[in-house]
Structure 1
């Protein structure tokens, strides 16, 4: 599985990479550090035109250039990218952010756990769900 992490916080990027790198179902982790870069990566624009499409996107809400809500709307309103599952992984537990994310067709909304053990548990739950239970279309579909 190829995961695209759209996250601007370097500490969170390191933590998420560390936790995900030990997972056998994850073959590649790509990172975009702002919302526009995330959109460009998924839609294969500019420097990203040769990138392999991600199988799953982990998306923060609070991003520079385009926030997570804008990224979600853009990708879910595009026929070529709407099939890619997007998990909102953010510090915000605001009911408005949660509602807005699901209204824009987020597949899952998770508030970032504050400690490493809780974060590892959350990733294990995501891994079990997305790698063992969910059937996704192939990249060529």
Structure 2
């Protein structure tokens, strides 16, 4: 375990296939006043390659947190979440579900699969800024993240 240097960026992996949602949250984090690197995997299969640092992802950093959409092609968010939480090298990374679904079944499935949070997406930019600030305040200011 190493302690993160204060000049190192906070690394977020966003797993989402919607370019508008990605752009909104990236812009919102840019306004948080902190140093962020937001990486994007367009689906669950790419996300798992990223996290295992395979192929084109061989030099990417280990994410501090993951924002995970549930509804994606090839491999759903719940499938990715289950794989992450079953992997001894990845299960300590906080996974926040960031999705348009707010059905009780999806919320229940996410938490039963060990999600660390569940946030409903918004297309309103002011809401996205609030979401980014709340993630920043809790995960990067209040919490102590495990760093392998």
Do the two structures share a fold, i.e. TM-score over 0.5? Answer: yes
TM-score (norm 1): 0.93
Aligned length: 139
Q: Give unpaired runs (5+ residues) of structure 1.
A: none
Measured in 1, the distance between the counterparts of 2:39 and 2:128 equals 19
Specify which of 48, 59, 79 is matched with residue 50 of structure 1. Answer: 59
User: Partner residue of 2:108?
Assistant: 99
User: Partner residue of 2:126?
Assistant: 117
Q: Give unpaired runs (5+ residues) of structure 2.
A: 1-9
Q: CA RMSD in A?
A: 1.1
2:92 aligned with 1:83:
yes
Preserved contact between residue 21 and residue 123 of structure 2 (Cα < 8 Å) = no
**For residues 31-55 of structure 1, what are the alpha-carbon distances to aligned partners after superposition, in whole Å with 9 as ceiling and x for unaligned?**
0001100111112122212221111
Q: What does 1:1-141 align with in structure 2 at a 5 Å threshold?
A: 1-138=10-147, 141=148
Higher relative contact order (CA 8 A, sep 6+): 2
User: Partner residue of 2:4?
Assistant: none
TM-score (norm 2): 0.89
